[in-house]
Amino acid sequence: MILPDATLGVLGGGQLGRMFTCAARSMGYRVVVLDPDPHSPAGAMADRHIRADYVDHAALAAMGKACAAITTEFENVPAQTLEILAEHCPVRPHAGAVSIVQDRIREKTFLRAHDLPTVPFDTVLQTRAVVQAVKDLGTPAILKCAAFGYDGKGQITVHNEQEAVAAFETLGGVPCVLERRVDLAAEVSVVLARDAAGNTACYPVAENIHVNGILDTTIVPARVAPEIAQRATEMAAAVAEALQYCGVLAVEFFVTTGGELLINEIAPRPHNSGHYTLDACATSQFEQQVRTLCGLPPGDARLLSPVVMVNLLGDVWGGGTPHWDVLLQDPKAKLHLYGKKEARPGRKMGHFNYLDDDLERAVATAKALWQELHCAS
Ligand code: ADP
Ligand code: MG
């Protein structure tokens, strides 16, 4: 067990690293953040910010020496970085799990091998394979880069073979998957925490609404049939078990109009759709990340109130500073801003949680507040 006053490390200094840092420091741990960005949102909150690249061996050695345990806020960290750090101290999640889920081909192949349902897909490594994949899967289909995609980036929807070939070229001919585009009744996710002994705490199923491929709103509890919620929870736990996972894990699902539940993707870290846990659960997903990193069992994942989480993208700053006064005057609204300097369109700047005993009222009020944030004069 690693106890307070010890130093914890986090790779990546964005908003997820920042919320991890806040959780760890409020529990009495010290935190070192590794991130090349001098304006890193997490770096600003940490005891120490090492401004270096993730493959800088001297920086990794310094971090390894300083820390009792290390985690990551993003999956695109080179697996070798995690392996180097693991020579110094425990690294959770382990490099093996991260390397599976950071690549869509390995991720989907892994799910298939464990009989976990995914969207029908084909691996695409050359132009010839993209033509065959369109024949196999039919259209519309989505060509996705195997690595480095997020918030809908690195994805192109295609309607025929020619478009698929062009899309493959646009994406630079890198390894891809072609997926059938399924008709969605809903998207849901399950965030869970699992310790090294296999003790697992699953948060309630969240319903996610995406706009332009980016998460917009999370509604909890998800408004899906109880059987769907039950199966999603079981599947997420099965994924964690199959990965021999230690840490916080998120599984995104598609619920199709035909009533199927398919795994979309896995994140080896706290997830945007788990930000509601900051205010609405007995233990937040970031506290779980601290606990599982430190060899402690997961905390109580119980939901204390229905909640709606609304992302605040840079677009909200379009007409100037948002009207925070409107939001903050509502006692049920909880604002979280990430301390990012520049509000670019599509950039995640913050979020707010809205807690109300009546879920539908929470949905309606959160939506109205979001509109007033930029409309009020
Ligand atoms: P990212 O890594 O950018 O989150 P996802 O694969 O989760 O990428 O895709 C982002 C969003 O695009 C999904 O949440 C969903 O709304 C939509 N989407 C992606 N793949 C499919 C698909 N096969 N069928 C229907 N919608 C999809
Ligand atoms: Mg996604």
Could you identify the residue written with the tokens 């001919």? Answer: 173
Q: Is 260 in the pocket of ligand 1 (CB under 6 A)?
A: no
**What is the position in ligand 1's atom list of the atom closest to the CA of 184?**
25
For β-strands 206-211 and 184-194, DSSP reports them as antiparallel
Instruction: Report yes or no: 187 and 218 within 8 Å, Cβ to Cβ.
Output: no
Among the candidates 91, 107, 130, a domain finishes at 91
Alpha-carbon gap, residue 32 to 28, rounded angstroms:
13
Do residues 30 and 126 share a domain?
no
Q: 178 pairs with which residues across the strands?
A: 122, 143
Which helix H or strand E contains 14, and what residues bound it?
Answer: none
Q: Residues 64-96, buried b or exposed e (16+ Cβ, 10 A)?
A: bebbbbbbbbbbebebebbebbeebbbbbbbbe
180 CA to middle of ligand 1, Å? 11
Question: Which of 48, 73, 91 delimits the end of a domain?
Answer: 91
Residue found by looking up tokens 């700053």 in the block: 317
**Do residues 174 and 198 both lie within one domain?**
no
Average pLDDT, integer, range 16-33 = 98
Kindly state the tokens that stand for 319.
Answer: 């007409």
Q: What is the pLDDT of residue 376?
A: 55
Distance of CA 156 to the CA centre of its chain: 21
- Spatial distance between the Cα atoms of 256 and 182, rounded to a whole number of angstroms: 7
Amino acid at 344: R
Residue 104 lies in a domain: no
Residues 204 and 304: their CA atoms lie apart, in Å, by 11
- Whether omega for the bond prior to residue 4 falls within 30 degrees of 0, making it cis, is no
CATH number at residue 208: 3.30.470.20
Which atom of ligand 1 lies nearest, measured to the CA of 152?
3
Find the CATH number of the domain harbouring 41.
3.40.50.20
Residues 127 and 73 occupy one common structural domain: no
Residue 245, domain member (yes or no):
yes
Structure tokens at 343: 């509000």
Per-residue pLDDT averaged across 165-180, rounded? 97
Model pLDDT, residue 152: 84
The domain total for the chain is 3
Which domain does 137 fall in, by range?
120-180
One domain for residues 84 and 143: no
Mode of pairing for the β-strands spanning 7-11 and 30-34: parallel
Question: Is residue 204 assigned to a domain?
Answer: yes
Residue 103 lies in a domain: no
In a domain, 73, yes or no: yes
pLDDT score of 150 = 84
**Ligand 1 pocket, residue 97 CB under 6 Å:** no
Ligand 1 neighbour 210 (Cβ under 6 A): yes
| Rounded Cα–Cα distance for residues 167 and 163 (Å) | 6
Give the ligand with the smallest distance to the CA of 254.
1
In ligand 1, which atom is closest to the CA atom of 150?
A: 3
- Whether residues 82 and 161 fall in one domain: no
Domain with 127 in it: what CATH number?
3.30.1490.20
One domain for residues 261 and 341: yes
pLDDT band of residue 151 (cuts 50, 70, 90) is confident
Same-domain check for residues 303 and 237? yes
Q: How confident is the model at residue 109 (pLDDT cuts 50, 70, 90)?
A: very high
Ligand nearest to the CA of 187: 1
Does 17 lie in the same domain as 160?
Answer: no
Are residues 217 and 293 part of one domain? yes
Residue 266 sits in the same domain as residue 354: yes
> Cβ-count burial of 307 within 10 angstroms (0-12 exposed, 13-18 middle, 19+ buried)?
buried
Q: What's the pTM value of the predicted model, to 2 decimals?
A: 0.96
Smallest Cα–Cα separation from 252: which of 302, 209, 196?
Answer: 209
Residue-averaged pLDDT of the chain: 97
Q: Give the atom of ligand 1 at the shortest distance from the alpha carbon of 265.
A: 7
Looking at the predicted structure, is the pLDDT value of residue 377 above 60? Answer: no
Residue 148 is predicted with a pLDDT of: 87
**Preceding amide of 221 cis, omega within 30:** yes
184 lines ligand 1 (CB under 6 A): yes
Of 128, 156, 180, which one is at a domain's C-terminal end? 180
For 237-246, write each residue's pLDDT tens digit. Answer: 999 999 999 9
> Residue 112 domain-assigned?
no
Q: What is the pLDDT of residues 309-355, one digit of tens each?
A: 999 999 999 878 999 999 999 999 999 999 999 999 999 999 999 99
Q: Which pLDDT score is estimated for 116?
A: 98
Same domain, 204 and 154: no
Among 150-154, 246-250, 317-321, the range with the most confident prediction by mean pLDDT is 246-250
